[in-house]
Structure 1
Amino acid sequence: MKFMKLGTRPDTFYTEQATRTLTSEIPSDLVIQINDVTYLLHKFALLPKCGLLQRLCYDSSDSESFTVELHDIPGGEDAFELCAKFCYGISINISAHNFVSAFCAAKFLRMNDAIEKGNFVGKLESFFNSCILESWKDPIATLQTTATLPEWSENLGIVRKCIDSIIEKILTPSQQVKWSFTYTRPGYTKKQHHSVPKDWWTEDVSDLDIDLFRCIIMAIRSTYVLPPQLIGEALHVYACRWLPGITKLNKSSGSSASQTEESKLKNRKIIETIVSMIPADRGSVSVGFLFRLLSISIHLNASSVIKTELIRRASLQFEEATVSDLLYPSKSSSDQNYYDIELVLAVLETFLKLWKRMSPGAVDNSYFLRSIRNVGKLIDSYLQVVARDDNMQVSKFVSLAETVPSIARVDHNNLYKAIDIYLKVHPDLSKADKKRLCGILDCQKLTPEVRGHAVKNELLPLRTVVQLLYFEQEKGSMANTSHKLLKQHEIILGAKQRTTTKDSQSKQSLGQEFNGDVTRTTQILESREKDHHRHKRLDANLALDLEKKIAIRGRDIEETESERVRGVKDESSSSYKLEVVDPKKIIRRARSKSEHSMKKADRDK
């Protein structure tokens, strides 16, 4: 940072009670009052350089003491003291940190060249134009100090000149950047990187107030020189610098209780301003950043317009998200591990609305199909994480899982894993909740390996196990029949090929016999296929009867371990005999039968 040194005399100002004066053999004849501080000074030093004091002291004689009140001087007593020391020739240092107050005070006192050549205002203007505006960090530091004197800074053109200087340097090609800048990104060191990164300016600019930051960003956007992604990166850096909880999952930092009302209002203004500046181009900011902004806006009670816009923007890039992008705590719970599933549900619903608005022809497009299936995988992976939350309600879990359309899931393997995790973490789940939870599972969409695991899963409800056994048996039966039909078809094709090697006369005579064989073989195959379908219907009826009998004669197997009894009426004596029935044995026999069918099908193959 550059500075300007003026004056050569040592500082002899000192304080006595509430009075500031300087060591001098000449008695004071000028009293300056600023707020609660009184300055005992001399006319001979100040009047030649201060046009305002000349006018105020015009009617006073040189010998008498004169009192002047300057309560409205910009910068207060500190700025006035800089001007007074300049008048006395006392050494002072001017930098970007005190330039604004000194310049405004000098303008107020009319310390310009019209009063005396080489006056304070002229020297300050020269320093501002040749030093501050020519560097990179000094205009930013100067802008930060204008917050104390916004009207004066605006009227004197300080703000406009600093912003123009900053924008000019930001638009400079990175290979031409020669000045120092702040860049603390992980993994970046200037020794290893000789080239200047394109976002070299973002961290320094993030130190500014949100209003000044907005002025710079909007001015840059209006030039159309920088890409939208670079603008988005600047917004991301600024959010990390000022918004609570943006860099880590920290629920307490974003809660209403831990923030004062003033702090909440300030943060709300910041997030609303940032959202309003996000470029319309898709991908200008990451979907993870959008989710973080959305989570914070919910905690800060931002306007519904801002939240709706963030949900819309996040839904447009939903397929690019990862599970970690979705893991944010719920505002309504004090538990750190209670995830905000409603936030994800809102984005998912908006994504599906946008997806359904496409023309029917677009739905068949591979890009759109891949997009929705990526979202389906994302939601199932997210469900596996939130299923480990002790406080996760079944209704919210099921609601999110059911919102995913069937076309988004190629199989239900990941959904089954999420359900299995939920059942393990919530062992005290009621019978009704278990049925509701497993009702979202499509047993036909499970691969054989996962279906085999599910059949042996004792946490699943009985109805789900029966469905799994039925589909397992059906798959095995279909595979066995298909294998036999394939063999018969190969025999027929072989016979046809052999007949082509004989002469035409034999071929005709044999052809008639062969056609008869083919006809008979075809009839046999059709008869076997009909038998297969009849057995298939019988298997289905047996499975349904099994389920009905178990439902009538007792509760579900996971609900009881006791034996059940049934009455068998004796025809001769009209009495009842008691026979012990174990539902577990029924399930085991069904499972054994299913496994036996699968092994038999494998042997036939």
Structure 2
Amino acid sequence: MSASVRHGSSRAQAWFCTTGLPSDVVFEVHDMTFHLHKFPLMAKSRKIHRMLTEQEEQRPARGRRRRRSSDGGDSGDDGAAETEIEEADDEEEEGAEEQQVRREDDGQVYSIAFPDFPGGPGTFEAAAKFCYGVRVDLTAWNVAPLRCAAEYLEMTEDHAEDNLAARAEAYLDKTVLQHPGDATKALKSCEELLPLAEELGIVARCVEAIAARSSATSRSWFDDLAVLGLRMYKRVMAAMAARDDVRAEARESCLVSYARGTIPGLSRSMRRRLASAPVSSEVEQKELLEAVVASLPADRCSGRVVTAKFLFALLRTAHILRASDAARAALERKAATQLEQATLEDVLIPSYSGAAETLYDVDCVERIVGYFLAEEEIGGFASSSAAIEVEEEAGAEVSRPSAVAMVQVGKLVDSYLAEVASDANLKPAKFCELALSLPDHARIYNDGVYRAVDIYLKAHPRLTAEERDRVVGVVDCRKLTVEACTHAAQNERLPLRAVLQVLFFEQLQLRRAITGTLLAPAGASAVPPRAMRQQRPVSGEWRGATVLAQESQVLRLDMDSVASRVQELERECSSMRRAIKKIDGSSGSGSGGRSPGGRSADGGDLSGPAVGGWRARHGCKFSTQVCDSHARNVVASRASRIGMSP
């Protein structure tokens, strides 16, 4: 059996069966014509057998009608009218069969049209080959169309043994439905076979097979879900959600695979799309995205499949497609649950709205941070230093997910502030709101937020004094490292009051470091030698003494460097006091270089009214005695050192 294709004007293409015998029946399926033989088809298809048998029975009657029409020319108009009525009745009977069957003039060739054949010409060709005894390879893609074609042509076991319907059913049950990937392909082929595939139960069986075997197999088939339409995808997800034996990770994997395969441009890092995935319009993509958002787990995701990168990619795409406010709010809340796992690239969401002035959507990030803080507060995790000390004293090695997550979010927000600080349209109020949205324990050090403030001041040189003070006020000088303090002390963009506060707290930190260094040897020497011997094994006594000697030497070197730094800072403070005294003296009422109740400018005392007025103008509230080398000795008594406040 062979086939050839011929192009013509009336038909798009024709299919011929060349067996050495002329064809006696012509089938018209959509835009293709099949020239076949009636006996092989009648042996397998009851429908074709019935239709051709009826035509055979009608041949003599039609012949008599044609002879009556040709010989009865003198019978008048009544005979012609009767013949037309009989032919009209025959056409109505053929329409009841929903087929268009006509007899050619030669009386040998018949033509049958199947305008609604399931599966189209390709499926009819495979069914015709099966009737001729040609081997037809069943696959996951063609088994559902062939099963529907067998039902349409009535190719069942009642008409012939080992027929097409039984073959397709056996392959569907034993092969296709045993693997979710093949069941997904069969389910995709059913989208063009409705409602017949639904009536035969193929759709329901494929959906149930996918849901039942999704947790027990590998994830290699998850990418096949991208070929499904939205309707079939929703049925699969609903079936998986209805089963108790389906793991949440399997549902999340199906969700992520479908979203990546069907929504173009989901993420800048997700370039790969399946070749078989259909290209959807913008409206269809919006509908797909909202369906994916609705399929997200109600509880907190595991984070292994539905990651923070995926959630922020969905959120970015939702802004591009202008998804509904409910979908975007749901994504923001879901992204907030994994904010500690996000990176700077994830939270840099461009502003796609024409009303937004900034390059990035700062309001969206601020809302996400607010949702994160609300979740942390509801969770009831302790975050204070007292709770941490209690756990440390208890000796339990307990991980603190809330505290660690808060610190990670603090670092992320500081990096985000440093990135958006250079935007000229970012208002100081918005910058400060985002910087102050986190609690104090979210930042161990304030170096990150100080860097963001420095970038903002550099990018906005025309800020007013009030705005500059407000922006700088988000930095806690007590949490700056030595490197940040050194940079801030030389930063010309900072107000004078901020520089003085940085110098004060830096000197205070150095004094506390020196105090701790001096207290360590004193505390060690207070331990009796006998107690030391009891606490340390005898075999490691000499080794412990060597280690203590080395540590003492290192501490002495550190103490010398810290002491030199303190002296340098005290000299700088003295120079600043003399300069400030001269400024106050020149602006005063001629006090003669000596303020009432204090020493002269050379003495370095700042307790006079002139200095008090300067402090009131610049808002400095700290005591100047800690910066005066003559007010207190560096090596104070042990009691005074212990009582020193931070």
Report if TM-score (shorter chain) is over 0.5.
Answer: yes
Counterpart secondary structure, 1:400? helix
Counterpart secondary structure, 2:155? coil
2:6 is the alignment partner of 1:10: no
Residues 599 and 322 from structure 1, CA distance in 2 versus in 1: closer, same or farther, beyond 3 angstroms?
Answer: farther
Instruction: Tell me which of the two structures has the higher relative contact order, counting C-alpha pairs closer than 8 angstroms and 6 or more residues apart.
Output: 1
How far did 1:266 drift?
2.3
Q: Which of 111, 114, 127 does residue 67 from structure 1 map onto?
A: 111
How far did 1:350 drift?
1.8
Alignment of 1:299-338 (within 5 A): 299-332=320-353, 338=359
* Superimposed CA distance per residue, residues 74-130 of structure 1 (whole angstroms, 9 cap, x where no aligned partner): 122222222233333445443222222222222112122222233322222233333
Q: Is the 8 A contact 1:473 1:594 kept in 2?
A: no
Counterpart secondary structure, 1:403? coil
- Output the amino acid matched with 1:107: E
Alignment of 1:241-260 (within 5 A): 241-248=261-268
Residues 209 and 386 from structure 1, CA distance in 2 versus in 1: closer, same or farther, beyond 3 angstroms?
Answer: same
How far did 1:249 drift?
5.7
- Aligned equivalent of 1:30: 25
Counterpart secondary structure, 1:404? coil
What stretches of structure 2 of length at least 5 have no aligned partner? 60-106, 389-399, 524-572, 591-613, 619-623, 637-646
Residues 331 and 205 from structure 1, CA distance in 2 versus in 1: closer, same or farther, beyond 3 angstroms?
Answer: same
Residues 474 and 125 from structure 1, CA distance in 2 versus in 1: closer, same or farther, beyond 3 angstroms?
Answer: closer
Residues 10 and 482 from structure 1, CA distance in 2 versus in 1: closer, same or farther, beyond 3 angstroms?
Answer: closer
- Output the amino acid matched with 1:348: V
| Alpha-carbon distance in structure 1 between the residues aligned to 2:168 and 2:508 | 91
2:45 is the alignment partner of 1:50: yes
Q: Which of 145, 158, 162 does residue 206 from structure 2 map onto?
A: 162
Alignment of 1:92-491 (within 5 A): 92-135=136-179, 137-172=181-216, 199-248=219-268, 263-284=281-302, 285-332=306-353, 338-356=359-377, 366=388, 367=400, 371-387=405-421, 394-424=428-458, 426=459, 428-431=461-464, 434-469=468-503
- Aligned equivalent of 2:14: 20
| Alpha-carbon distance in structure 2 between the residues aligned to 1:204 and 1:307 | 27
Aligned residues between the structures: 477
| Alpha-carbon distance in structure 1 between the residues aligned to 2:633 and 2:266 | 56
How far did 1:456 drift?
0.7
How far did 1:25 drift?
5.3
Counterpart secondary structure, 2:111? strand
- Aligned equivalent of 2:555: none
Q: Is the 8 A contact 2:428 2:471 kept in 1?
A: yes
| Alpha-carbon distance in structure 2 between the residues aligned to 1:13 and 1:428 | 78
Q: Is the 8 A contact 1:473 1:598 kept in 2?
A: no
| Alpha-carbon distance in structure 1 between the residues aligned to 2:513 and 2:405 | 37
| Alpha-carbon distance in structure 2 between the residues aligned to 1:31 and 1:216 | 41
- Aligned equivalent of 1:578: none
Residues 312 and 468 from structure 1, CA distance in 2 versus in 1: closer, same or farther, beyond 3 angstroms?
Answer: same
Counterpart secondary structure, 1:72? coil
How far did 1:46 drift?
2.5
- Aligned equivalent of 2:566: none
Residues 599 and 76 from structure 1, CA distance in 2 versus in 1: closer, same or farther, beyond 3 angstroms?
Answer: farther
Counterpart secondary structure, 1:95? coil
Q: Is the 8 A contact 2:336 2:372 kept in 1?
A: yes
Counterpart secondary structure, 1:342? helix
- Aligned equivalent of 1:39: 34
Between 319-328 and 288-297, report the one with greater CA deviation.
Answer: 319-328
Residues 47 and 378 from structure 1, CA distance in 2 versus in 1: closer, same or farther, beyond 3 angstroms?
Answer: same
| Alpha-carbon distance in structure 2 between the residues aligned to 1:33 and 1:481 | 99
Q: Is the 8 A contact 2:156 2:163 kept in 1?
A: yes
- Output the amino acid matched with 1:20: A
Q: Is the 8 A contact 2:308 2:341 kept in 1?
A: yes
Counterpart secondary structure, 2:360? coil
Residues 143 and 339 from structure 1, CA distance in 2 versus in 1: closer, same or farther, beyond 3 angstroms?
Answer: same
Residues 384 and 233 from structure 1, CA distance in 2 versus in 1: closer, same or farther, beyond 3 angstroms?
Answer: farther
Q: Is the 8 A contact 1:83 1:102 kept in 2?
A: yes
Alignment of 1:69-84 (within 5 A): 69-84=113-128
| Alpha-carbon distance in structure 1 between the residues aligned to 2:338 and 2:213 | 32
- Output the amino acid matched with 1:220: M
Residues 137 and 409 from structure 1, CA distance in 2 versus in 1: closer, same or farther, beyond 3 angstroms?
Answer: closer
How far did 1:454 drift?
0.7
- Output the amino acid matched with 2:29: I
* Superimposed CA distance per residue, residues 352-410 of structure 1 (whole angstroms, 9 cap, x where no aligned partner): 33445577988775555555444333312332333356765544433311222334334
| Alpha-carbon distance in structure 1 between the residues aligned to 2:406 and 2:215 | 39
| Alpha-carbon distance in structure 2 between the residues aligned to 1:361 and 1:262 | 48
Q: Is the 8 A contact 1:15 1:21 kept in 2?
A: no
| Alpha-carbon distance in structure 2 between the residues aligned to 1:219 and 1:290 | 24
How far did 1:207 drift?
4.5
Q: Is the 8 A contact 2:179 2:210 kept in 1?
A: no
Q: Is the 8 A contact 2:332 2:368 kept in 1?
A: yes
| Alpha-carbon distance in structure 1 between the residues aligned to 2:163 and 2:185 | 25
| Alpha-carbon distance in structure 2 between the residues aligned to 1:169 and 1:111 | 31
- Output the amino acid matched with 2:164: F
| Alpha-carbon distance in structure 1 between the residues aligned to 2:39 and 2:382 | 89
Counterpart secondary structure, 1:150? coil
| Alpha-carbon distance in structure 2 between the residues aligned to 1:396 and 1:429 | 17
| Alpha-carbon distance in structure 1 between the residues aligned to 2:127 and 2:285 | 38
| Alpha-carbon distance in structure 1 between the residues aligned to 2:289 and 2:418 | 31
How far did 1:71 drift?
0.7
Counterpart secondary structure, 2:138? strand
| Alpha-carbon distance in structure 2 between the residues aligned to 1:324 and 1:601 | 51
How far did 1:299 drift?
2.1
Q: Is the 8 A contact 2:314 2:331 kept in 1?
A: yes
TM-score (norm 2): 0.61
How far did 1:347 drift?
0.8
